[in-house]
Amino acid sequence: MTKPQSHLMAFGLGYTAQTLCRQLKTRTEWACLGTVRQDTKAKALRTEGIQAFALEPKTQIDIPDGAHWLISAPPGDEGCPIYTRFVRHLPKASSLTYLSTTGVYGDLQGGWAFEWSPVNPSSERARRRVQAEEAWQAACLKEAIPYRTVRLPGIYGPGRSPLERVRTGTARRIIKAGQVFSRIHVEDLASGLQALLDRRDLTGVFHLCDDAPAPPQDVISYAAELLNQPPPVSLPFEETDLSPMAKSFYAECKRISNARIKAALGWKPLFPTYKSGLKAVLMAEDRDKNSLA
């Protein structure tokens, strides 16, 4: 008996959602569609079998009944733009997963953030995320749609990792005593989202991250080691000329726990540390270069 096809409706076909769609393409029971900002990007994704639409004011998008919604577009000054435009179609959804940020917890001075930890956003960007989480949660509760908030740390992968900064000579080892960040390889993020999509009954807040929060300067040093380059220059945090956004990241220090999603789904990261993750990124980039040679 043929299994009915499931649809992923990705509002914001960015780095994460594209990786998820490419993973789902290996499963014949899934089809992916979603939104992008530019028509040129939409056309490129359609050549890959991802039904992409440029999200312009007059664009008509036929959202399949029973699609699983994935919201990754960030909120703006007036809230989540996807909520404003598409919430009226929510009753058609099978489930909704909202990709948020672990920035909603604020500064924990190196302590652990769990899914039940209280939110305490310290930036306007994080406050908007909390507001978007609450808006979607309330709408899903009203329509009895299964809802998940997935709070994410820094995401890296091929084409988007410290290796790029080391290659271009822009990497710096910024030293701030006790500072650590959690992170996740994009392939692990996509596999965790797949596991959630397969369990429509699971609702609530989840973290997807690796097992080893680490100081950012250690990650940069290891990236340089993989590329057989000397460690980039080190600078005390107080002497840097970081952008206001970058400084806001260093203003918070926390470790993110992934214990809940491991227990609920049996998921675990293929790349549990930044070392295994960066090795995989380098291998993937080398394969891509060789395939184009």
CA 167, CA 282: separation in Å to the nearest integer? Answer: 12
Q: How far are the Cα atoms of 7, 57, 100, 154, 290 from residue 36, in angstroms, in the given order?
A: 17, 12, 18, 21, 29
- Residue 132 domain flag: yes
Instruction: Tell me whether residue 1 is in a domain.
Output: no
* pLDDT value for 4: 64
How many domains does the structure of the chain reveal? 1
Look at residue 124 and tell me if it is in a domain: yes
- Are 265 and 195 spatial neighbours (Cβ–Cβ below 8 Å)? yes
Q: Is the pLDDT of residue 1 over 50?
A: no
* For residue 105, pLDDT beyond 80: yes
Tell me: pLDDT of 3 over 70.
no
pLDDT of 242 above 70: yes
Residue 248, in any domain of the structure: yes
For position 269, which CATH number holds?
3.40.50.720
> pLDDT (tens digit, 9 = 90+) per residue, 151-187?
999 999 999 999 999 999 999 999 999 999 999 999 9
**245 confidence band (pLDDT: 50, 70, 90):** confident
Q: Residue 156 belongs to what domain range?
A: 6-292
Mean pLDDT of the chain: 94
Question: What is the average per-residue pLDDT within 51-73?
Answer: 91
CA distance 67 to 34: 11
**Residue 64: band (very low, low, confident or very high) from pLDDT cuts 50, 70, 90:** very high
Give the CA distances from residue 11 to residues 81, 170, 237, in Å, rounded to whole numbers and listed in that order.
10, 32, 36
* Residue 196 placed within a domain: yes
- CA atoms lying within 13 Å on the CB side of residue 70: 24
pLDDT at 149 over 90: yes
Residue 121 lies in a domain: yes
pTM of the model: 0.95
What residues pair up with 98 in beta bridges, in sequence order?
71, 149
Is 169 among the domain residues?
yes
pLDDT in tens, 12-46: 999 999 999 999 998 888 999 999 999 999 999 99
pLDDT tens for residues 110-125?
999 999 999 999 999 9
Interatomic CA distance for residues 74 and 54, integer angstroms: 16
